[in-house]
Amino acid sequence: MLTPKQQELLSFIQNRLEEGGVSPSFEEMKEALDLRSKSGIHRLINALEERGFIRRLPNRARALEVLKLPEAMHRAPKIVVPPKPQLASRPPIAANDVIEIPLHGRIAAGVPIEAMEGQNMLSVPAALLGAGDHYALEVSGDSMIEAGILDGDFALIQKTEVAREGQIVVALIEDSEATLKYFHREGPKVRLDPANSVYEPQIYDTRQVRIQGKLAGLLRRYN
């Protein structure tokens, strides 16, 4: 028999797999269960694995598979999980409540590459964007896959020069290269964390890094 938290986590993982085929990151699981640290998620994952409800997929960082569900979950109504940023099958076609934002080339989600300025525009559902100015960048690389950000996605960025701890940001490094990462401060340093255990965090002096925006949403094409 599972504890309420174990059942809540299993339901969250199952719902995310059904929605997008990708298991949630530990950070997403921590936030969904309102836990203070990832260590609690590790304990819950280990308990579910020991009881045969899930398994970790080999050769895939933190990828999980649900093997079975308890009877109580089969009988109970499905838990509604707050949706991830809306995905689209291709750069959206203009329609009602659609706005155009600048599309500024490609940005690395792995090793930093130069962020190119461009004059192209991308049509975006207004519901994906909040207040403020926005622009779009095409993602290149796989270091944010555990956050559900894949190579070829369009990252919708709200312009800002400040960021809170743990936000996904566009960081401009030494005024020449940009990357999409989780933002953290470590004293006089800035740590940019990937969402893929294959990659190492990137650590810079604060004067080397300027925040160019924070992630507001995603668009994805399938072709």
* Catalytic option among 181, 189, 197, 214: 181
Q: How far is C-alpha 107 from the chain's CA centre?
A: 15
Rounded-to-integer distance, Cα 196 and Cα 139, Å: 15
Cβ neighbours of 195 (radius 10 Å): 24
β pairing state of 98-108 and 134-140: parallel
* Catalytic option among 140, 143, 176, 214: 143
Q: Look up 143 and say whether it is catalytic.
A: yes
Return the sign of the alpha-carbon dihedral for residues 145, 148, 151, 156.
Answer: negative
Q: Look up 5 and say whether it is catalytic.
A: no
Nearest CA-CA partner of 64 in 80, 41, 37, 85? 41
Rounded-to-integer distance, Cα 8 and Cα 77, Å: 13
Q: Which residues are catalytically annotated?
A: 143, 181
